[in-house]
Structure 1
Amino acid sequence: MTRVVSSFLMAASILIGSLASAATLTAEIVDAQGKPLTDAVLTLQGPAGKPDPAPKADMDQRDQRFAPHVLAVRTGTQIKFPNSDNIRHQVYSFSAAKRFELRLYGGTPSDPVLFDKPGLVVLGCNIHDWMLGYVYVTDDPWFGVSDEKGALTLDSMPAGHYVATLWHPQAPDMQPVSGGEIDIPAAGLRQRFSVNVLPKADDMPAAPAPSAFGDAFHKAAPE
């Protein structure tokens, strides 16, 4: 009986210790002028241990746009492509990280698409040339996408030393860049990251130009 109680107390102590060391990173991502950047991806490599896997995600199509515009997932994630519009779409990608095509459809295809290689996947629609979306597939265990205020929060992270990587669709060459190294204490950390991006003209059309997919694909493809 004493051995059972001792084992229980040891397990409880380990659990409490791990919970106590769980930290929160509150990140703010801005451009070179200090303005908030939405749709920026932050990934982190750090102490051993990974959060619970998230093997499923959705990339919707609403109002003839991909929603979200940028989706970050862990390698091995299955993504569904529901079509919430009342018209049909035909989603495709030529990217090396994932080549696929979902032929003309409404509703949600029964089979999700497995994203089994890390890298950037540029999405287009064969019917609506202006539709453009991105899936950022990463092997890093910690990642997120900034909101309209340039903010993102990563919870339950082990305290320790991390190496950060940043990506944004308006980056000049559309390639990931170093975000530096940070130390996250058990009490948590607020950190600002900066990404150089191309200016977005105020007079740009609400939808990308018909050539937007081709431009994005060629930028994202490694030389």
Structure 2
Amino acid sequence: MKTTLTVIGSLLCATPVVAADLRVSITDTSGKPVRDAVVTYEPAAGSAPVGIKAPYVMAQRDMNFTPYVLVVPAGATVSFPNQDAVSHHVYSFSPARKFQLPLYGGGLSRSLTFPTAGTVAIGCNIHDSMQAYIRVIDTAFYAQTDDKGVVTLTNLPNGAGDLVIWHPMSSAKGGETHLPLSVQGPIKPISVQLKIRRMAHAGGGY
């Protein structure tokens, strides 16, 4: 199914500067804000290495993974503490990082490194309702939407690049919507509309 995409706004060209900020608002087709979308900018000229700011944690709490979407740079190590009173078996079959963390009980934790950029869908082999995602990125320019569906990317370098909006429930291929972007000075805010397949998780919203 073809992604429904609406871009509102335009680029405003002015005297060239070293860097610019970009505000992106994301909604679904009914106008509802989309939270937990990961917005990245990949300059055609390449990006500086992404700093690894540990710790990165995806906890098991109240029979859910927390957070639902975790963004980490390639090469980061993520810990998976079990804060429930029952045991969990954490796994993924995603090509970006296939793994198994065999059954372990409350109060214990396991850790794993994610060396390759991509999307890693996380599940529990014992509790099928538990779902989460790790978005592994390899650009220094990224942010995750809040409850208002808004992010601001800062200090984007001048030049051409690719703006990528990813959400686990987006109908786009791989959950990714790509927009070409040319930065030549201040940038007007951009609004993007995504077609969302369904409610993403038990907490409600997207």
TM tier, smaller = 0.7 to 0.9
Residue of structure 1 in register with 2:10 after alignment: none
Name stretches of at least 5 consecutive residues in structure 2 with no aligned partner: 1-16
CA apart distance, 1:115: 0.7
The yes-or-no answer on 1:54 pairing with 2:69 is: no
CA apart distance, 1:94: 1.5
Give, in whole Å, the separation in 1 of the partners of 2:196 and 2:135. 17
Whichever residue aligns with residue 43 of structure 1, its letter is: T
Q: Percent identity?
A: 34
- Cα 1:153–1:86 change in 2 (3 A) is farther
Query: Is the CA contact 2:167–2:176 (under 8 Å) kept in the aligned structure 1?
Result: no
SS of the aligned residue for 1:129 comes to: coil
CA apart distance, 1:173: 6.0
Name stretches of at least 5 consecutive residues in structure 1 with no aligned partner: 1-19, 209-223
Query: Is the CA contact 1:24–1:154 (under 8 Å) kept in the aligned structure 2?
Result: yes
Compare the two structures and name the one with the higher helix fraction: 1
Of the three residues 206, 214, 221, the one matched with 2:202 is: 206
TM-score (norm 1): 0.70
Equivalences for 1:147-162 in 2 at 5 Å?
147-162=146-161
Larger radius of gyration: 1
Equivalences for 1:93-132 in 2 at 5 Å?
93-103=92-102, 104-109=104-109, 112-132=111-131
- Cα 1:207–1:49 change in 2 (3 A) is closer
Query: Is the CA contact 1:168–1:174 (under 8 Å) kept in the aligned structure 2?
Result: no
Equivalences for 1:17-166 in 2 at 5 Å?
21-46=18-43, 47-50=45-48, 52-54=50-52, 56=54, 57-103=56-102, 104-109=104-109, 112-166=111-165
Deviations 1:79-124 (A, max 9, x none): 11122334332211121211112221333536x2111122221111
SS of the aligned residue for 1:175 comes to: helix
- Cα 1:129–1:141 change in 2 (3 A) is same
Give, in whole Å, the separation in 1 of the partners of 2:185 and 2:106. 47
- Cα 1:179–1:105 change in 2 (3 A) is same
Residue of structure 2 in register with 1:16 after alignment: none
Give, in whole Å, the separation in 2 of the partners of 1:182 and 1:188. 10
Deviations 1:126-146 (A, max 9, x none): 222210001122333322221
Between 1 and 2, higher relative CO (CA 8 Å, sep ≥ 6) is seen in 2
SS of the aligned residue for 2:179 comes to: strand
Give, in whole Å, the separation in 1 of the partners of 2:133 and 2:63. 15
CA root-mean-square deviation: 2.8
Q: How many residues align?
A: 185
